[in-house]
Structure 1
């Protein structure tokens, strides 16, 4: 039997710098709370790990590359803070080789 506790889904939040540091700090705090709640849920058999808020195409691309390289990461759970332009995600999603769940809120 596979020990699922060794695996994790990465909780990734998308936003933009235009909201400013105070708002982005609050976004990160809220994202950490969401990731922690999902991590403690008995309904999710793997861990859920918070990842820093992504605000640039390069950060998104690097995160997707890191997810691909991680043996523990089984996929991404994404949540967008208000409006995160889809074009920021194109290059990262082109290289992503793991499943992605996009939460619409």
Structure 2
């Protein structure tokens, strides 16, 4: 059986940075959430893998779709999830159940 060489570069790998919120807060707040989320993702640019910012997730179907997309993409090695404003846990159940990649829940407090 031929041996597969070990990967020596992480250049082609990605971690997706996703942010949870909900429509309850209104469009202006969701724009702020997106801006702040993109800034946090950019702040993680020193990691040895590329951090890819994804749009703010505000509904169960979008969360599940993102998890399935991550599963299907061989470049994605995991997801960093940040709940910017209150994002009901129930909204995440189907997506997290579908996710087959590592998940890091980033918790911050101002």
Alignment TM-score, normalising by the size of structure 1: 0.94
- Computed over aligned residues only, the root mean square deviation of the Cα atoms, in angstroms, reads 0.8
**Which segments of 5 or more consecutive residues in structure 2 lack a partner in the other structure?**
1-6
Q: Give 4+ residue runs of structure 1 displaced > 6 Å after superposition.
A: none
Residues of 1 paired with 2:91 and 2:23: CA distance? Answer: 12
1:79 aligns with 2:82: yes
Alignment TM-score, normalising by the size of structure 2: 0.90
CA displacement at 1:81 relative to structure 2: 1.4
Task: Please give the secondary structure, in 2, of the residue aligned with 1:9.
Answer: strand
Structure (1 or 2) with the larger CA radius of gyration = 2
**Which segments of 5 or more consecutive residues in structure 1 lack a partner in the other structure?**
none
Deviations, residues 49-84 of structure 1 (Å, cap 9, x unaligned)? 000000000000000000001111110001001211
Q: Could you say which residue in structure 1 is the equivalent of 2:39?
A: 33
Aligned residues: 102
Structure with more helix by fraction: 1
